[in-house]
Structure 1
Amino acid sequence: MNSDSLPERLQGTDGIRGKVGLACDFPETDPLSVWIQTDPLSVWIQKKILTEEFFELYTFSFCQNLIDSGWSELGDSIIVGWDTRDPKGIFSDAAIRGIRKSGLTAVSIGVQPTPCVALYQLSREAAGAVVLTASHNPSEQNGIKIFLGHTGLKLFPADDIRLTKTICSTDFKHLKKTPLQGEVIDEEVLARKFFKNVMLDSFNSWVSERSFQKTSLVIDAANGAFIPLLKQMIQELGGADVILCNTSLENGINHNCGVADLEGRHIVEANELSQEPLCHAEALIRILEEGRRKREQNSESITVGLVLDGDGDRCFMPVYDPQKDRIIIIDGDGLAILQLLWLKQNQKTREGQLYLNTVESSLEASRSALKAGCFVKQCAV
């Protein structure tokens, strides 16, 4: 591929994502027998299709960067986790091959939420971590998020540019013939147990034995990465009345579920749940039904939901309003402020403490944090 047509940076704000296809679907000749380039980088740039070969190239290049920069040595570990959009393991197997061909060890932890992958990397002191996901995007898409072991952070733009250069300069024909050098270790059960313990640890969790008394909780798992973990945790949620929705692999990750259809919404009126697109929103419908049932019983309990995205790093909280028979949507900014107010009420914060959000966060969140006595600072996405 002509170097003049290569981009400086392949990634967006959080790794790379797009529609996926198999390398075998891109033969070296088109229907008119005109030769085209079919290496994985060219297929992505020209066709906007991510193949399994691209995943192999991407993870190999990431690992090679770590080695070349001195942040890792041969044999060091890279954590690999993914969401539910690759049930046959075609893309995860390819990503693991890329890691092993670099000489690093692939620690496979299977279907896990993105926060689990990041925290498990830190606990294991791994050189880095790779999450295969397209977040809240449809199931026909996939992608790659990366975490750096020495910082615990995702890649900065300069890191993306460096990685892009390595990808563009790597001969995939040679890489394809490169033997596997590193090991692969399965730690799926260990990682899930670790993350469950982290979330339920009293130091990290605000859930008490009384937290869910008089509460009906509806969880929308988005047919995604949190499913195995949620099924384990339901019994440990302090006696909550829990309804778990959208846990099917057959229906497709994020399909008619998850946070995507709630973006930009603050209120959902009852009649909207009989119209497109929310007529398919099982979790919201269950919240409305359960809330109405409790209202008819003059119950003092509340009905709330947790709506996740496919890889489990975003959450909205729908709350049934019995006075107006509607659902109020609390987004990420709103949840952050509620947590801040809880911390202040329970004397777990101090005057002038830092409240950090991004430039895309709402101004109201910053104003609320200032009003609560915090020092507010914004950062890039």
Structure 2
Amino acid sequence: MRTSDKLRLLKQKNVYFIDSWYSNNVLENLDKSAAGILNYPVFKNLSKCVIDIAKIKENKGVVKDKTRLVLASRARIFGTDGIRGVVEISPDENGRNFIQRFSQNSKFTPELLETTVYSFCELLLLNGTLKKEDKVLAGDDGRDYFKGKPFLSAVLSGIRKAGLTAVYGGVVPTPAIPLYMAKAGIKAGVDLTASHNPSNQNGVKFFVNGLKVLPEGPYGDYAITAFLYKNMKQSLFETGKYLDENSEVKNFFKASIVNNIPYKKELKNFKILFDPANGAGVFHGKEVFKKLGLKVTSVNDKPIGLNINQGGGVALLEGVEYYKYDRGSNTKSYPAVINKMIKEKHIFGLVLDGDADRVYLLVKNIAREAVYVIGGDKISYFLAKYIMRTKRPAKPVFINTVESDVMTNTAVEKAAGIKTRIVCVGDKWVVQGLKKGETLIVGAEESGHSIVPVKAAGKIVYTGNGIFVGLLCLSYLIKNNVSIDEICRPFEEGVKKTYYTYLIDKKLFQRGSKVFSNDRKIIKAEFKKLAKKYCLNGKIKEKIYKDEPDMLNMSVTQNGVIIGMIFARNSGTETKTSINIRCKATHKEIFSGIAAKIAAFHSKVLKDPRNPDTSKEKYILSVINKVKSFKELKLKTKMEEVQLKALLYGMSKEYFSLKEKILSIM
């Protein structure tokens, strides 16, 4: 925006939004003044491509162009990876429109989904990326369990109402979307999935030219959000065609995995335990294993939509280093896949999430009487190490996120001899972290998104593919005779711990807010106090990531080397915030003490009283130690099974002291 435009708006004393729906939802956190709009965080970074979409129109102090105002205000309903929320198909009792329902209570409705998909398609048409009747690939993870599949219908309808051809690929893992787009020459893709989230939630991911959309740009998060407002009252007809290419998408996906495994012989007759989290990877995984000759036993492999991610999957294992099964261990609260490994002779396991773009490996260490969880850091370390033994690409690089163990990069640099780089949370930022001329060897997220570039129809595709990455890592481990002990602990590990607060009001934690500023003060003051107590001579400094400015990241360096960090951020996929510590093992007491204090503060000030689950959580906390079964708790709370399990899942992550009790009744 030109300086003259800014000044002209600043002179206006009152800029009121045009109607009630506009002022009560996404923009409710903005001051109703030009100064409030222009001083909103990161407004100064408003990109030129966004400015070009629409212009500000002024008439007697009122901004009439809603689309332009939403763009200028930086309103965005997207999270780290698309849009996700709690599914709801019934009419709203308070007469709210679908944007209000989402912004106020995270309600994900078919109307919201269809309009968002239509807006995405409209932007691609306006931008010239697509033209009328072009194909848009659509897939889903199978969780749309409602009669008539209203959410899947909304995706297909949104594409067809834009005059484009909806190509349905069926229930497929997320990576199948960009892979088939490359093969078929399709420029846009839409995936109906909430990934690792509980089954009472759904969501959507968007792809352009095989990559996930970014916040900025002519078809980015901000632009789609603005057009969502513009199109919310549109009444359109489906003019585009519908094609079913289910078998083609599935067959190409399976072939792309099998063809890119270098050591197929090593996998033949190899025994593994498979946990696909009752999701999109169930049948695809089994068929790939069969083609490669693996001997497989499965758990959580009967998907019905309602049970996706329930009782299994990577999200349930996240943050756990190992599960002990010696005589003193209580295994009743362990996930089904862990107990299966303990009881049977399986040494290796492969665990996915609901849309199969994430993977963890499991390894049974009989000598230590424990099942170890091999997360994204370790998987990516092994991949980088052994890929670099067989390839010599130009300017190789390893890219991971702030969530990784601080010791991972040092270990990769030493073992693989390549440069490493740290970016923001989200696999899309891993790909964006690649510089011109560089070759990405592995892109890593500790959460299980590991990106190994593959060729599809002559094109390089960057996508997290749980089945492929898991099998690729296993084949390298077997080929190189890596010992069980080395797999469990391949390098000197640091400390990784996360403190969650669920059911929050996200607006309370952002750069410039009181909570954000208070967190910064607590970290600095506590570090100074504890560093003196433990004789730590380090410098603490805040780093602002331009791709995620609302993340508070405080790192500690010693002689120029990062020895630890604390970062706090809102989840981009759930109504939660997290305090994360990453440090050397010797500094655990310092960093965990600071994080625990902030987490306790967050639990008091960030909970959203408008969320109905907040009061339900409070009630459950008062009775949880008195109930003996899930059935009893369900009767007391009068909640539906899916909703109650989703709430308990979050509570098991937030309240450490109650975790065992909660999991035992789930």
TM-score normalized with structure 2 length: 0.51
Per the alignment, in what secondary structure is the counterpart of residue 205 of structure 2?
Answer: strand
Q: Cα offset for 1:273?
A: 6.2
Per the alignment, in what secondary structure is the counterpart of residue 310 of structure 2?
Answer: coil
Q: What is the aligned counterpart of 2:400 among 357, 364, 377? A: 357
The residue that corresponds to 1:161 in the other structure is 222
Per the alignment, in what secondary structure is the counterpart of residue 118 of structure 1?
Answer: helix
Paired residues of 1:105 and 1:182 also in contact (CA < 8 A): yes
Q: Cα offset for 1:282?
A: 2.0
The residue that corresponds to 1:195 in the other structure is 253
The residue that corresponds to 1:248 in the other structure is 302
2:91 is equivalent to residue 25 of structure 1: yes
Alpha-carbon distance between aligned partners in 2 of 1:125 and 1:361, rounded to the nearest angstrom: 35
The residue that corresponds to 1:98 in the other structure is 158
2:112 is equivalent to residue 51 of structure 1: no
Q: Cα offset for 1:50?
A: 0.8
Deviations 1:83-125 (A, max 9, x none): 1211342200111001100011111011000011121112222
Alpha-carbon distance between aligned partners in 2 of 1:187 and 1:350, rounded to the nearest angstrom: 35
Q: Cα offset for 1:267?
A: 1.2
Q: Cα offset for 1:318?
A: 0.7
Partner letter of residue 245 of structure 2? E
Q: What is the aligned counterpart of 1:121 among 181, 195, 218? A: 181
Q: 1:195 to 1:273 in 2, by over 3 A?
A: farther
Alpha-carbon distance between aligned partners in 2 of 1:118 and 1:284, rounded to the nearest angstrom: 32
Partner letter of residue 336 of structure 2? E
Paired residues of 1:80 and 1:106 also in contact (CA < 8 A): yes
Alpha-carbon distance between aligned partners in 2 of 1:363 and 1:351, rounded to the nearest angstrom: 26
The residue that corresponds to 2:341 in the other structure is 287
Deviations 1:58-105 (A, max 9, x none): 100110111111111111111100112113422001110011000111
The residue that corresponds to 2:603 in the other structure is none
In the TM superposition, 1:134-149 aligns within 5 A as: 134-149=194-209
2:81 is equivalent to residue 14 of structure 1: yes
Q: What is the aligned counterpart of 1:369 among 398, 409, 412? A: 412
The residue that corresponds to 2:349 in the other structure is 305
Q: 1:5 to 1:93 in 2, by over 3 A?
A: closer
Partner letter of residue 162 of structure 1? A
Point out where structure 1 has 5 or more consecutive residues left out of the alignment: 31-35, 292-301
2:276 is equivalent to residue 211 of structure 1: no
Q: What is the aligned counterpart of 1:264 among 319, 323, 327? A: 319
In the TM superposition, 1:330-345 aligns within 5 A as: 330-345=374-389
Alpha-carbon distance between aligned partners in 2 of 1:290 and 1:220, rounded to the nearest angstrom: 15
Identity across matched positions, percent: 32
Specify which structure has the bigger relative contact order, considering alpha-carbon pairs within 8 angstroms and separated by 6 or more residues: 1
Deviations 1:224-266 (A, max 9, x none): 001121232232123x221122111246000010011111111
Partner letter of residue 169 of structure 2? I
Partner letter of residue 339 of structure 2? I
Alpha-carbon distance between aligned partners in 1 of 2:23 and 2:261, rounded to the nearest angstrom: 51
Per the alignment, in what secondary structure is the counterpart of residue 12 of structure 1?
Answer: coil
Alpha-carbon distance between aligned partners in 2 of 1:52 and 1:4, rounded to the nearest angstrom: 21
Alpha-carbon distance between aligned partners in 1 of 2:303 and 2:230, rounded to the nearest angstrom: 37
Over the residues paired in the alignment, what is the CA RMSD in angstroms?
1.9
Alpha-carbon distance between aligned partners in 2 of 1:190 and 1:11, rounded to the nearest angstrom: 30
Q: What is the aligned counterpart of 1:85 among 143, 154, 158? A: 143
Alpha-carbon distance between aligned partners in 1 of 2:153 and 2:251, rounded to the nearest angstrom: 23
The residue that corresponds to 1:295 in the other structure is none
TM-score normalized with structure 1 length: 0.87
Per the alignment, in what secondary structure is the counterpart of residue 207 of structure 2?
Answer: strand
Q: What is the aligned counterpart of 1:274 among 328, 331, 335? A: 331
Q: Which has the larger radius of gyration?
A: 2
Alpha-carbon distance between aligned partners in 1 of 2:287 and 2:268, rounded to the nearest angstrom: 17
Alpha-carbon distance between aligned partners in 1 of 2:151 and 2:175, rounded to the nearest angstrom: 20
Paired residues of 1:137 and 1:254 also in contact (CA < 8 A): yes
Deviations 1:313-356 (A, max 9, x none): 000001000111211111011111111222234x2246962112
Per the alignment, in what secondary structure is the counterpart of residue 81 of structure 1?
Answer: strand
Alpha-carbon distance between aligned partners in 1 of 2:26 and 2:276, rounded to the nearest angstrom: 38
Partner letter of residue 88 of structure 2? G
Q: 1:136 to 1:188 in 2, by over 3 A?
A: same
Partner letter of residue 332 of structure 2? Q
2:131 is equivalent to residue 73 of structure 1: yes
Alpha-carbon distance between aligned partners in 1 of 2:395 and 2:344, rounded to the nearest angstrom: 41
